[in-house]
Structure 1
Amino acid sequence: MSRLLRVELRRLWARQITRWACVGVLALAAISGLAVYLSAPPPSAQEVANAQEMFAADQEAWETDGEQQVASCEADAEAEGRTPEEWGCDQMAPRLEYYLPPTQTFVPDATQQELMFGAEEVDADDDATAAAVEEIRGSVWNGWAGLASLDDVAVLLVLVALVVGVSFVTAEINSGSLGMWLTFEPRRQRVYWAKAAAAALGTVPLVLVGFALLVAASYAVYASFGTLGGLTGAVWLEVAAFTGRLVAAGAALAAVGVALGVLFKHAAAAVGVVGVVAWGSLVFGFGLGELQRWLPTTALTAWLQGGSVFSTERCTPSADGVFECLPVDHVVTTTQGGLTLLAVTAVLTLLAALVFRRRDVS
């Protein structure tokens, strides 16, 4: 089996699609670095001077009539049956950052988290879920920052692994080379498992090097601007953990690609099915309610980001009998997301192995 695996690995890396995937990963890293460079510059000296001038003027006015404004805000909140905090009365005082253009840092800070999620309260079924939602939203992979944008780009790397896995099988089926290969190695089960393992292992360098380039390019840009933020050893450990989960997801999706290639025999059909599932999950997912936790897209997000949050709608009658519908937050843990991805990979792989054993591939 080890000899067959080595042969399949050489065949994988000899294919043109794999080489083009390498080029695509390099292009992705370059485009991502350019996008960061164009969007991450800090405020200019002139913008800072203008902001300080306007802040000083408003601060002077606030010292004169700030108490009156807060009192008026609290009265309005009470009239609407809300607390002053819910009405934002404690946020009315001028702050210098209000007058500056938003600035990204490599690691998100509290201000960026507030820009991303606002001051909304977590509405969950229990305190443990609420605490988990707060922890997920407070991670380095959420917020408005450099690292928080890399996780979205990183998903493209696992999709590249999936496409390579699909093409690895469909190209050989449609060209007839797979049928010829089976005349030399007639044990179909060994051939299938070798191809699945080769796709999973062979795409590891693509995903690993690709994400390393993304992180390096983003880090270099923010370092040049002096806006790295609170970069600590703990943050780098989280980056390393994310990288490990990303590599595992890439390997799983490459194996899924091989399975879909065997089941559908055509690359366009296999990739199209993945696209339809992803599109349907994003468009119609909210309507599934609690079933959202079992969607592949939710599982992938939870696995990569160390947990995922999704919302359902809870409708209850108010005192006057009118139904009021409010969103309720739910959490999918890293473990649950990983097990869901593993289950999907295992089911598709076993099904494809059974089909490959009997299907004509000539």
Structure 2
Amino acid sequence: MRLLRVELRRLWMRRVTWGGLLLALVVAGLGVAGQIGSAQPPTDRQVAEAEAFYAEELERWEENGEQQVEQCEEAEAEAAADDPGADFGCDDMAPRLEYFLPPTVSFVPDADDREAAAFGVPPDRGESQDPRVAEIEQSLWTGWSGVGAAAGYAPAFLMLAFVVGVSFMTAERSTGALGMWLTFEPRRSRVYGSKALAAALGTVPLVVAGWVAVAGGIYTLHAVFGTVGPVAAEDWVEIGAFSARLVVAGVLCAAVGTALGVLLRHAVAAVGAVAVVLWAGAVFGYPLGAAQRWTPTTNLTAWLEGGTAYGVAQELRDETGMVTTTWTTEVVTGLQGGLYLLAVAAVLTLLAVVVFRRRDVA
């Protein structure tokens, strides 16, 4: 405990740590500012224009609506011959005023936004469809919403925790402070453990401050404009669960940063290596097919959001030689995502301890 208290003080005496906290607040401020336009309700002028267009469209609908519905039903019947589940929405073709209003984002996605988000995933809608996919598609983190926008900034706070963890080890090695410290406390395992734990726990305020600032700021913004929307009790429970998972992810990211600081020895190398891995997982994830299950970005998303889904394309050749592409949707659970992150942190930490005990720190 004595070493841990010393390392925590040293961590927060560093300008990099305070700079990370300041940068987290700046990122949160930019996130809140970016939501100002979308959180505002329509102005009186926009409402008046929408009502005028709606009145014109309603007049045309009263003249030709029945004919349009009949045509739609005929087309739906023809499509049903090949696809019994075909639904063209013929019963819901009448114009509505909200169709002519500019979209307004609520703090949590409403039912329409969550349903629209499902169109972004091209799953196989057959009987083999995993029921968990529907739960993920309808979750709080899908659709267009203020809380979803806030969650989009969470990886930035995790990256800052990682950078602080890297710098905490590499800076002391490059300045010789680490070698000096080992003359007072020669038990290297204890030194590494105290530094890794200090980085993991010491960066929690950074992650929490950034998340609270962006989520609280966006909520306040919606409250001011009156666009919070109906936030149910289960929504607050899920936001709280996301916050807790984010803190755990921040602890693991800082521990990974400390480990890579030892293994790669240079901050630029450690940060660059992680940036390349994350970039490759995001850019080349689709060609990996089912192997997307094991990319860091997929598992991080699954952990933070309590589960995530990804599409896999399969090319099938029929009897005539024609090639068709079918889609299936696979699920990565939040449990797998958490175990994945824990395993990565544990393996890198174990390697770092072995290297730290044997390598010359000079």
Shared fold, TM over 0.5: yes
The alpha-carbon distance between structure 1 residues 92 and 118, as it changes in their structure 2 partners (threshold 3 A), is farther
Aligned partner of 1:325: which letter?
T
181-190 vs 65-74, which moves further: 65-74
Aligned partner of 1:304: which letter?
L
1:51 is displaced (CA, Å) by 1.4
Displaced runs of 4+ in structure 1, greater than 6 A?
none
Confirm or deny: 8 A CA contact 1:141 1:148 kept in the other structure.
yes
Q: Secondary structure at the match of 1:93?
A: coil
Match of 1:58 in 2: 57
Confirm or deny: 8 A CA contact 1:219 1:228 kept in the other structure.
yes
Aligned partner of 2:224: which letter?
S
Name the CA distance, whole Å, in 2 between partners of 1:128 and 1:316: 18
Q: Secondary structure at the match of 1:324?
A: strand
Name the CA distance, whole Å, in 1 between partners of 2:340 and 2:250: 15
The alpha-carbon distance between structure 1 residues 124 and 296, as it changes in their structure 2 partners (threshold 3 A), is farther
Name the CA distance, whole Å, in 1 between partners of 2:356 and 2:153: 34
Aligned partner of 1:32: which letter?
G
Match of 2:21 in 1: 22
How well do the aligned residues superpose, as a CA RMSD in angstroms?
A: 1.9
Query: Following superposition of structure 1 onto structure 2, how do residues 1-362 of structure 1 map, counting pairs within 5 Å?
Result: 2-79=1-78, 81-82=82-83, 85-118=86-119, 122-123=123-124, 127=128, 129=130, 131-318=131-318, 320-362=320-362
Q: Secondary structure at the match of 1:348?
A: helix
Name the CA distance, whole Å, in 2 between partners of 1:287 and 1:132: 23
Gaps of 5+ in 1: none
The alpha-carbon distance between structure 1 residues 84 and 47, as it changes in their structure 2 partners (threshold 3 A), is farther
1:210 is displaced (CA, Å) by 1.7
Confirm or deny: 8 A CA contact 1:84 1:90 kept in the other structure.
no
- The share of aligned pairs that are identical, in percent, is 50
Confirm or deny: 8 A CA contact 1:132 1:331 kept in the other structure.
yes
Superimposed CA distance per residue, residues 87-134 of structure 1 (whole angstroms, 9 cap, x where no aligned partner): 4544432122211111100011022224434497742676562x2111
Aligned partner of 2:149: which letter?
S
Superimposed CA distance per residue, residues 50-83 of structure 1 (whole angstroms, 9 cap, x where no aligned partner): 2122223322322332222122234345556456
Superimposed CA distance per residue, residues 240-294 of structure 1 (whole angstroms, 9 cap, x where no aligned partner): 1110000000000000000010011111100000100011001111111111111
58-67 vs 277-286, which moves further: 58-67
Gaps of 5+ in 2: none
55-64 vs 113-122, which moves further: 113-122
Confirm or deny: 8 A CA contact 1:309 1:332 kept in the other structure.
yes
90-99 vs 186-195, which moves further: 90-99
The alpha-carbon distance between structure 1 residues 90 and 83, as it changes in their structure 2 partners (threshold 3 A), is farther
Confirm or deny: 8 A CA contact 1:166 1:254 kept in the other structure.
yes
Confirm or deny: 8 A CA contact 1:107 1:140 kept in the other structure.
yes
245-254 vs 309-318, which moves further: 309-318
Name the CA distance, whole Å, in 2 between partners of 1:122 and 1:52: 38
Confirm or deny: 8 A CA contact 2:192 2:353 kept in the other structure.
yes
Name the CA distance, whole Å, in 2 between partners of 1:326 and 1:104: 33
TM superposition score normalised by structure 2: 0.94
Name the CA distance, whole Å, in 2 between partners of 1:126 and 1:224: 45
Aligned partner of 1:137: which letter?
E
Name the CA distance, whole Å, in 2 between partners of 1:96 and 1:5: 61
Aligned partner of 1:108: which letter?
P
64-73 vs 191-200, which moves further: 64-73
Confirm or deny: 8 A CA contact 2:21 2:209 kept in the other structure.
no
Name the CA distance, whole Å, in 2 between partners of 1:78 and 1:120: 26
